[in-house]
Chains A and B, each alone.
Chain A
Amino acid sequence: MPVARCHFADGKIFEVEADPGESFLEASLRAGAPVRYQCRSGSCLSCACSSDSNGLKMRPGVASSLLKTEIAAGRRLCCIGQLQSDDELHFAYRSDSAGPAEVSAFVDAIEWMAPDVVKLRVELADGEWIDFQPGQYVRVTPPGAETARSYSMCSTPETLPTLEFMIRVLDKGVMSDYLRSSAQRDDVLTLSGPFGGFTWKGDRREPHLFIAGGTGLSPIASIIEQIRATSGRKPPMFLSFGCATRDNLFAGDYLKLLAQWLPTLDVRIAVERGAEDGLLAGNPLTAITEAQISSDVRAYICGPPAMIAAAVEKLSAAGVPANQIHYEQFIASQQSEA
């Protein structure tokens, strides 16, 4: 098998042996080389490196976000790269700094969208930066706290250095306590990330089905905003959003605006208790009928685990292939709280 020597900015070299048929990223992770990565599909550029002798080749026929000119200049993506012969590869970061960034961010605004939902807006500190794809999340540590909580952005990369989150405020929890009691403008939070593979897959021909429960709306709003900002034809989109009760329903006006601005977006809102004023009674799956489920539909689902399980089951039973169903679980406590 060919071998690549991976050079990092701190001078460390990792030797990676790879099968010419496999993804070079997988081989380097197996060999313990601290290659940064994110999308694993040739789009995010996290795993970019420079090749000296063209042993690492891009898998033929796979689209990547590298320009032809960059490829000609020796730039490669590990995730869709295949090692055909020995090579020297150069990574622009230190071997001990790989992975997501950790940055500081100032609180700009805290807006209560419902009795238990906050929209948090932060601005990255001067000189610090995080890139992300719509749908991803970061881990947020409140001032003085030891532990972090995970939240998905509802804003898009276009508004960086400003990030926005829709956050569910629980009765207890490190972030919830902070938001309810002491949070104020200009507080400094620690953000690390981005994380997560729940991102827009980018095909504008397929009908899109979005199913969001509670603050599971946050990453889905980011994806829809990204589609709104993308040049060219918009896909047909159907968003079904649900909250437990009429009283903790949030973002209704915002979703109405989104539907106003996007002629190809249909929005349904359901509440389990207290349905009135055109709201559907039930959970977000209530509004999903055969009309929204075609075999070419691409589904993005985010919310509580039970809702996700039910949605996946419903879509699978209707014949939607598993690789067209994308979901992100929002679980309170350790990993996620939203």
Chain B
Amino acid sequence: MADQKPTRRRQGSQARANTAQVQSEYQPYIDATWGFINHWYPALFSDELPEDKVEGIQIAGIQLALRRVNGKVLAIKDQCLHRGVRLSANPMCFNKETISCWYHGFTYNLETGNLDTIVGNPDDPLINNTALTTYPTQEVAGIIFVFVRDDEFPDEDVPPLSEDLPIRFPESSERFPHPLWPAAPSLLDDDAVALGIHRTGEANWRIACENGFDNAHILIHKDNTIVQVNNWVLPLGIRPASDDCISPIEDKDGPKGLMQWLFTDRWEPILENQKLGLKVNGINSRMYRTSVVLPGVLMVENWPEEHIAQYEWYVPITDDTYEYWEVLVRRCPAEEDRKSFEYRFDTVFQPLALRGFNDCDLHAREAMQDFYADGSGWHNEQLVDSDVSAITWRKQASRHHRGIAKVPAGVQGREKASSIRLRNITEGKSPGYFVDKIDDLNNHNRASVRSRKR
């Protein structure tokens, strides 16, 4: 030891795009391990919640119970104030107005969250003196959205859903023109039909989100079936060619994020790498354009076909799981339009795009997760100029988010090695988005029950 010369700790190269100064500008984003809060997130597809059904999910470390009553979706914190039991694990509703905890009968008003009564203790002074947080909901194009908020976030500050959805066309056509395709459809269009899937991914939500609009990751998609079957020829990469290659989106009372000017001269496709002897001839790929807005909503215009836009959400569940939403939106003015969109969705888009093509992205996100899982990756990564997209997004998110989710207490997924979690894993159930429902109160299935021998 004594004759060893002391050496400096290894630092990121000063040539990297994420210098210490740049990192400090997006520190709030680095802090948002459990997600951003006080934003609208997709919760369920409408058909996942028929009348009177109760479902339990988790978003940004907050457990939520949703129930549909007289057609309207109501959302309430899914954690009884008494002993923390999840109401949705074994839903008990005696009427249309309330949900009761199935353990001791604490009964909450679904609209206000007020503790209306206690089944077996109707005169307790706690009644009407405490409440669970409730969450505003809105349903559009067959998707239920929930405004996931802090307990203190006031009702009057809840923004319209449109502030957390991508910008709309044709109203933005002048600002973000593109001669190569028609106006991208929006979920908020009257005749919009949204078809899609959601599933749990094992990575931090930010890793997933940044993958969605990372222009240099085109490399992983070159062997995808949808690319090959269409004889698309992709460039090796795409580099920023101008400092206006990205425009911030930050209108007052509008969504906040960024738009990338893809397939214009502001981005340069890379066709050759001499060192590796690689050369791409005759680029022939779909012209698409990506934009992203808070709380992490991707829009891919003109993808996977004309008149369609793909929307994605990477809804944080815990710090290392997210619910991955992939939704294709198309305007279908007539019933036949809807039918043919559905047919094409089932036969082509779901298997080749949402699964095949985007499954490839799931692999890439998981591959990054270990590097970022303990937080060190955010400082050790060595970003390059094509990462301008991620850096711009991080800065925009740091500036415009409505709150950083606190590390939650007392919820699923906070303790990584709890006995129940381990048991579920050994039983083949991965930790996920939905509550673990009790299907038979008379039967607690355990592998090894011992009884006294006589």
Q: Which A residues fall within an 8 A CB radius of B?
A: 67-69, 72-73, 230-233, 257, 260-263
Q: State whether A261 and B38 are in contact (beta carbons under 8 Å apart), knowing that A69-B129, A69-B130, A231-B149 are contacts in the complex.
A: no
Q: What is the bound-complex CA distance between A96 and B300, given in angstroms?
A: 68
- Contact yes or no, B395 A232, CB < 8 A: no
Known: A68-B129, A72-B129, A257-B24. A232 touches B38 (CB 8 A): yes
Find chain A residues with CB under 8 A from B250 CB: 263
Contact of B150 with A260 in the complex, beta carbons under 8 Å: no
Q: In the complex, A124→B174 CA distance in Å? A: 57
Residue of A nearest to B395 (CB): A260
Q: Which B residues lie at the A interface, using CB under 8 A?
A: 24-25, 27-28, 38, 125-126, 129-130, 149-150, 152-154, 157, 250, 395, 398-400, 402-403
Are B152 and A263 in contact, CB atoms less than 8 angstroms apart? no
State the Cβ distance, B391 to closest chain A Cβ, in Å: 13
The answer, among A72, A231, A260, A262, for a CB contact under 8 Å with B403, is A231
Q: Which residues of A contact B398 (CB under 8 A)?
A: 260-261
Which chain A residues border B27 with CB–CB below 8 Å? Answer: 257
Which chain A residues border B154 with CB–CB below 8 Å? 232
Q: Are B400 and A263 within 8 A (Cβ)? A: yes
User: Would you mind naming 5 contact pairs between A and B with Cβ atoms under 8 Å apart?
Assistant: A68-B129, A231-B403, A232-B402, A257-B24, A262-B399
A69 to B403, alpha carbons, bound, how many Å?
27
CA distance A296 to B118 in the complex (A): 46
Q: How far is the CB of B27 from chain A (nearest CB, A)?
A: 8
Least Cβ distance of B401 to chain A in Å?
9
Establish whether residues A231 and B38, one from each chain, have CB atoms under 8 Å apart when the complex forms.
yes
- Complex CA distance for A230 and B37, rounded to whole angstroms: 12
Question: B129 contacts A260, CB within 8 Å?
Answer: no
Interface pair A231/B150, CB less than 8 Å apart: yes
Residues of A within 8 A of B130 (CB): 67-69
Whether A231 pairs with B400 at a CB distance below 8 angstroms is no
- Name the distance in Å between B31's Cβ and chain A's nearest Cβ: 11
Q: Determine the chain B residues whose CB is within 8 A of the CB of A263 once the complex forms.
A: 250, 399-400
Residue of A nearest to B158 (CB): A232
How far in angstroms is the closest Cβ of chain A from B351? 43
With a cutoff of 8 Å between Cβ atoms, the chain B residues found around residue A68 in the complex are 129-130
List 4 tightest A-B contacts by C-beta distance, closest first. A231-B150, A69-B129, A232-B157, A231-B153
Which residues on the B side are within 8 Å of A261 (C-beta)?
28, 398-399
Q: Which residue of A lies closest to B400 (CB)?
A: A263
- CA A260 to CA B399, docked complex, whole Å: 6
Alpha-carbon gap, A262 to B157, bound state (A): 17
Closest to B159 in A: A233
Q: Whose C-beta in chain A lies nearest to the C-beta of B126?
A: A69
Bound-state CA distance A130–B126 (Å) is 31
Question: With A and B bound together, what is the CA distance between A328 and B250 in angstroms?
Answer: 36
* B399/A233 in contact, CB under 8 A: no
Query: For residue B28, which residues in chain A have a CB less than 8 angstroms away from its CB?
Result: 261
Residue of B nearest to A71 (CB): B129
A159 to chain B, nearest CB (A): 12
From known contacts A68-B129, A69-B129, A232-B38, infer whether A260 and B153 are also in contact, taking CB-CB under 8 Å. Answer: no
What's the least CB distance linking A201 to chain B, in Å? 17
Q: Could you say which residues of chain A place their CB within 8 Å of the CB of B25?
A: 257, 260
Q: For residue A228, which residue of chain B has the nearest CB?
A: B28
- Among B125, B152, B400, B402, which residue has its beta carbon within 8 angstroms of that of A72? B125
**From B252, which residue of chain A is reached at the shortest CB distance?**
A263
Closest to B250 in A: A263
- By beta carbon, the residue of chain B nearest A231 is B150
CB distance from B375 to the nearest CB of A (A): 17
Residues of A within 8 A of B399 (CB): 260-263
With a cutoff of 8 Å between Cβ atoms, the chain A residues found around residue B157 in the complex are 232-233
Min CB distance, B114 to chain A, in Å?
Answer: 11
Told that A72-B125, A230-B152 touch, could you supply 20 new A-B pairs with CB distance under 8 A? Answer: A67-B129, A67-B130, A69-B126, A69-B129, A69-B130, A73-B125, A231-B149, A231-B150, A231-B152, A231-B153, A231-B403, A232-B150, A232-B154, A232-B157, A232-B402, A257-B25, A260-B398, A260-B399, A261-B28, A263-B399
State the Cβ distance, A103 to closest chain B Cβ, in Å.
Answer: 26
Distance A73 CA – B400 CA, assembled complex (angstroms): 41
CA distance A11 to B245 in the complex (A): 73
Once the chains bind, are B152 and A232 in contact (CB under 8 Å)?
yes
Residues of B close to A73: CB separation below 8 A: 125
In the complex, A260 Cα to B29 Cα: how many Å? 13
The docked-state distance in angstroms from the alpha carbon of A257 to that of B129 is: 42
CB distance from A190 to the nearest CB of B (A): 32
Which residue of A has the minimal Cβ distance to B115? A69
Which B residues are CB-close (under 8 A) to A233?
157
Nearest chain A CB to B28 CB, angstrom units: 6
Q: Roughly how many angstroms separate A68 CA and B115 CA in the complex, as a whole number?
A: 13
Cα–Cα, bound, A271→B203 (Å): 48
Nearest B residue to A69, CB-CB: B129
The residue of chain A having its C-beta at the shortest distance from the C-beta of B21 within the complex is A253
Residues of A within 8 A of B125 (CB): 72-73
Which residues from B are CB-within-8-Å of A230? 152
Q: How far apart are B454's CB and chain A's nearest CB, in angstroms?
A: 53
How far does the alpha carbon of A255 sit from the alpha carbon of B38 in the complex, in Å? Answer: 25
Could you tell me the distance between the alpha carbons of A68 and B128 in the complex, rounded to whole angstroms?
9
A73 to B129 Cα, complex, angstroms: 10
Considering the chains assembled together, what is the distance between the CA atoms of A69 and B126 in angstroms? 7
Residue of A nearest to B131 (CB): A68
Q: How far is the CB of A113 from chain B (nearest CB, A)?
A: 15
A232: chain B residues at CB < 8 Å are 38, 150, 152-154, 157, 402
- Whole-angstrom CA separation of A232 from B153 in the bound complex: 5
Alpha-carbon distance A233/B403, docked complex (angstroms)? 10
- By a CB distance below 8 angstroms, the chain B residues around A257 are 24-25, 27
- Minimum C-beta distance from B156 to chain A (A): 9
Contacts of B38 in A (CB 8 A): 231-232
| Minimum distance in angstroms from A244 CB to a CB of chain B | 27
User: What is the CA–CA distance of A72 and B124 in the complex, to the nearest angstrom?
Assistant: 12
CA–CA, A49 and B94, complex, Å: 40
Q: Chain B residues near A231: list those with CB within 8 A.
A: 38, 149-150, 152-153, 402-403
Q: Which residues of A contact B24 (CB under 8 A)?
A: 257
* Complex-state Cα separation, A69 to B130, whole angstroms: 7
- What's the minimum C-beta distance from B39 to chain A, rounded to whole angstroms? 12
Q: How far is the CA of A231 from the CA of B403 in the complex (A)?
A: 6
Q: In angstroms, how far is the closest chain B Cβ from the Cβ of A160?
A: 15
Distance in Å: Cβ of B373 to nearest Cβ of chain A: 24
Residue of B nearest to A70 (CB): B129
Which residues of the other chain, A, contact B152 by a CB distance below 8 angstroms? 230-232
Question: A residues within 8 A CB of B395?
Answer: 260
Chain B residue at minimum C-beta to C-beta distance from A73: B125
Complex alpha-carbon distance, A257 and B130, angstroms:
39
Least CB separation from B151: chain A residue:
A231
Q: Which residues of B contact A260 (CB under 8 A)?
A: 25, 395, 398-399
